[in-house]
Amino acid sequence: MNAKKIQASLKKLYGKIKSVKDISEEDLRVAFVKSGILEELGYEGELKDIRFERGVRGKRSDLLAFDDYMNVVFVVEFKKPTEVDLEQDFAQLWERYVKPLKARYGLLTDGLELLIYERINSNWEIKLRLNLGAVTLSQCEEIHDWLKKPCIERTRIEEVLGYFERFDNPEERVNLSTEIAQQHFFDSFELKGDSIFVNLVQRTIGLFDFELERSKFLKSAYNFWKISYAKKPEKVPENWHWIMDKIGLEKNEEDLFKFMFCLESAYSLFTRLILAKACEDYKLPYIDFSDFIKREIERTSHRGDISSLAWPITTKNLIENMKGNLVKSVFEGDIFYWWEDSYKELRAGDSLYSPYHRYEKQKAYFGDALAEIILTLYKFDFSEIVGDPLGTLYQRYFDKETRKALGEFYTPIEVVKYILDAVGYEGQGIIHKRLLDPACGSGTFLVEALRRYLKAFGQIAEEKGWSRILKELCNEYCIAGFDIHPFATFMAQMQFMLVLIPAYKKAMEEDPRFVLNRLPIFRTDSLVDETKGEAMKVTIETFESGIRYILIDTGLPVDGGNLKIKMPYDKDVFGKTDLLNVQEYFAALQAVFDTVKESAREEKYEVDKEELERNFKRYLEDKEWNGLVSFFTPYAEHFLQKFKELKATFGDGKLIKTIEDIMLAAILKNYVKYDFVVGNPPYVRIQTLSSESKEKYEAIYTTISGNYDIYIPFIERGITWLNDSGKLGYINPNRFATVNYGRGIRKYILQQTNLLEFLVVHKV
């Protein structure tokens, strides 16, 4: 530290301001930055650790300085030199920045004077008031000690635990209930510039490149993702171009797809951490984010040192812990959880830089990026925004350009509310009714429906209990969602869960053993009926035992072709068991998957019949249990063998959830009628579809012809899902009302429905 340089910088600023007759607050801020004081305090500048905010008058005249984890060290508010005492403006600075952002120091300056205030919990005291033209070296030493950029060495356990301890104090946490705090959250994790989240994406790509030819699962899963889901955006967002250029990716399709896959992987990881932190802040029983991380980091340290590997290993263990205490399906492995394989056989203390691991530095870099994410997230307090506000925050976090580029058809919330109102999904009209969004995207319709559902059942829950209400919601698929894209399905589940947290907490308090294994939101092709005919690649065959089954093509590539799964034949389900309806069939199949997934996880490929019976009893009541076990055991054995085959092909069992989604969704798609079908179906011309998809749809749907758009079969399918009194509400292009390819669907609507409303909106 050179006190003389700090003194020279401050006197330079003083001289500049003294030499001009009038100066704006924004020009004063520019002069402050150019004085060199920030560099002398260890800051790198804008887009790194300095941010300019708009002041009260709308100018970018306020300055925030951060440490490496986006904690606000100090805030400077600039004032025009006047006769007015600077001190009278501190209350505004305190309320606007210092208090909500938990800045350590608040500064006021007019370029002639400098006032420094220190925040002490919820109070403050003035530390220094000085004339910049007469600043002394000792004062500059104090300024340096207070305002210098803190350095937290995350490789030392005592420093990391000290950091955590600071934010275990509620007075130090950034409460996300204020707009300025929420904006700080967005700025901390934005997909832009050199943000902490961009660094995670970059390191995810580095790990991807390292593992692609080494990991059987990653290579197979990525190829499957490219073939089945990858689609080049019509317009690549500008911030993507900047980031791709920064990290050395070309503007070709291969690098773009790699970027998209790794971006989705990073989002899914970060979002799981947000959910875990929010649940802890809201004090859900048994949810342990902070203490779990501290214990794991301390456990994996060695002689006071923390390896970079400790962070991903801790995160992997945290996700496994959350899976056992929260909704399992939200924390289950999927194709975006591939990074976990990199740390399966490693211990946190393993040396990365030995001659035998000289290329494994990418594992360390990913660990460092994950450490930044965790340490930055740790300070935010979600306790006052859980539920609706947290869901809104989450939606605002993902910029529209990125959501669109990743394939989401964005629907304004005003339109969603209008459609739900129009079909009557509100108040008592919700109770004992079922709603489906067959193209749910990231869950905008589902989340608004959930808000209404929870409100409608508030009084009933006081009598029945929230644990029963939530089990009915999910196990009786009162709100269901389908989407063909795995990332959209994950995002919808996450948004659904974020809004569900307050009710979930009440359910856990009522029943300490309460846990939901899955939300009724599944990855599936809504336009496919897996139960009908050769056109759907379905055949009805028979086990040696005489039990018939439907053979379903999962689309998952294995040796010898796509993986095919045997699904119970519905007529046998109801003819050879005492299951009474589709709802009980759905419950039974969930029990089967709970049983076989646990066996597969333990690499035991035999059906535990006692566990199967126990799981049946968790979902059903008063059944002939031996008969159910006997009927479903051949299917369970078949599932286990296919899981074993899948693991041999992909090197991992994470795609088990893909099969589960296909099977459970097949019941909800093909055997269930709904009271409400709503949504924003995709607008995709058939020219962009594969010949296989076109043939498949043309064999099923009677209303399509010519160069139709994919929303046409979605309308036909939506109508067939309705029960006798059901209502459909879609937002889609109005071209079908006039063009030739809409002739079939126009006739179908008039013949099959009572058209209540056809609203043309020219601009939303």
| pLDDT (tens digit per residue) in 610-638 | 999 999 999 999 999 999 999 999 999 99
| Vertex 35: Cα angle to 30 and 39 (nearest 5) | 105
Give pLDDT, residue 706.
Answer: 83
- pLDDT surpasses 70 at 58: no
- 72 and 166 part of one domain: no
* Average confidence (pLDDT) over 113-127: 94
111/205 same-domain check: no
Give CA–CA dist 737/164, Å, rounded: 60
Element (H, E) at 334: none
Looking at the fold, whether 68 and 111 belong to one and the same domain comes out as: yes
> Which is it for the CA torsion 214, 218, 220, 223, positive or negative?
negative
Q: Does 389 map to a domain?
A: no
At 366-391, the pLDDT tens digits run 999 999 999 999 999 999 987 777 77
Lowest mean pLDDT among 246-260, 448-462, 563-577, 748-762: 748-762
423 burial type by CB count under 10 A (0-12 exposed, 13-18 middle, 19+ buried): buried
How much is the pLDDT for 689? 75
Compute the Cα dihedral for 576, 582, 587, 593 and give only its sign: positive
What's the total number of domains in the chain? 4
Q: Which pLDDT does position 657 carry in this prediction?
A: 86
The bridge status of strand 435-437 relative to strand 479-483 is: parallel
pLDDT band at 55 (very low <50, low <70, confident <90, very high): low
Domain boundary, last residue among 636, 660, 684: 660
Amino acid at the residue 350: D
Q: Is position 517 within any domain?
A: no
Same domain, 182 and 321: yes
> Is it the case that residue 421 has pLDDT exceeding 50?
yes
Residue 351 confidence (pLDDT) above 50: no
Main-chain phi, psi angles of 21, to 5 degrees: -75, -40
Tell me if 330 sits within 8 A of 272, measured CB to CB.
yes
pLDDT at 350: 55
Q: For position 105, what pLDDT does the model report?
A: 97
pLDDT of residue 543: 60
Assigned token pair, 211 = 């593992």
Residue 52 counted as domain residue? yes
pLDDT digits (tens, 9 = 90+) for 171-226: 999 999 999 999 999 999 999 888 999 999 999 999 999 999 988 889 888 988 99
635, 660, 685 — which closes off a domain?
Answer: 660
- pTM attached to this predicted model: 0.91
Verify that 365 and 453 share a domain, yes or no. Answer: no
Range among 552-556, 725-729, 742-746 rated most confident: 725-729
Whether 305 maps to a domain, the answer reads yes
With beta carbons less than 8 A apart as the criterion, state whether 518 and 493 touch.
no
CATH number at residue 732: 3.40.50.150
Cβ neighbours of residue 372 closer than 8 Å, sequence gap 6 or more: 68, 69, 196, 199, 200
- How many other β-carbons are positioned within 10 Å of the β-carbon of residue 637? 15
Asked if residue 296 and residue 188 are part of one domain, the reply reads yes
Query: Around Cβ 322, how many Cβ atoms within 10 Å?
Result: 24
CA angle 454, 456, 457 (to 5 degrees): 65
pLDDT of residue 354: 45
Are the beta carbons of 387 and 501 closer than 8 angstroms?
yes
- The two counts, helices (H) then strands (E), for the chain are 31, 16
Does 501 lie in the same domain as 598?
no
- Give the number of other CB atoms < 10 A from CB of residue 625: 15
Output the six-digit token pair for 19.
């030499």
Looking up residue 101, the CATH number of its domain turns out to be 3.90.1570
Residue 387: inside a domain, yes or no?
A: no
Average pLDDT score over the chain: 89
Supply the pLDDT for residue 399.
Answer: 81
Whole-angstrom distance, CA of residue 46 vs CA of residue 151 = 18
Q: Mean pLDDT across the stretch 560-571? A: 80
| pLDDT over 70 at 356, yes or no | no
Rg of the chain, C-alpha, whole Å: 29
Position 698 scores a pLDDT of 84
Give the 3-state secondary structure percentages of the chain, helix then strand then coil, rounded to 5. Answer: 55, 15, 30
Instruction: Show the domain range for 203.
Output: 157-381
- Where is pLDDT greater, at 409 or 378? 378
Does residue 764 lie in a domain region?
no
Q: 414 with 502, same domain?
A: yes
H-run or E-run covering 39 = helix 37-40
Whether 131 and 173 share a structural domain: no
* Domain identity same for 270 and 189: yes
Q: Is residue 518 part of a domain?
A: no
pLDDT at 47: 78
**428 and 333 share one domain:** no
CB 338 within 8 A of CB 207: no
**How far apart are the C-alpha atoms of 678 and 656, rounded to whole Å?**
29
Are 323 and 276 within 8 A, CB to CB? no
32 shares its domain with 118:
yes
Sheet containing 113-120: give its strands across. Answer: 50-53, 62-66, 72-78, 105-109, 113-120, 123-131
Structure tokens at 66: 């951060």
Q: Is the pLDDT of residue 536 over 70?
A: no
Mean pLDDT of 11-28: 89
User: 190 lies in a domain?
Assistant: yes
Between the CA atoms of 315, 316, 317 and 322, what dihedral angle is there, to the nearest 10 degrees?
Answer: 80
Least confident of 232-236, 540-544, 688-692: 540-544
Q: Is pLDDT of 464 > 70?
A: yes
Range with the lowest mean pLDDT among 97-111, 129-143, 252-266, 636-650?
636-650
Angle at the Cα of 289 (from 322 to 203), degrees rounded to 5?
A: 85
Q: Which of the listed residues 326, 348, 381 is the one where a domain comes to its end?
A: 381
What is the average per-residue pLDDT within 143-171? 94
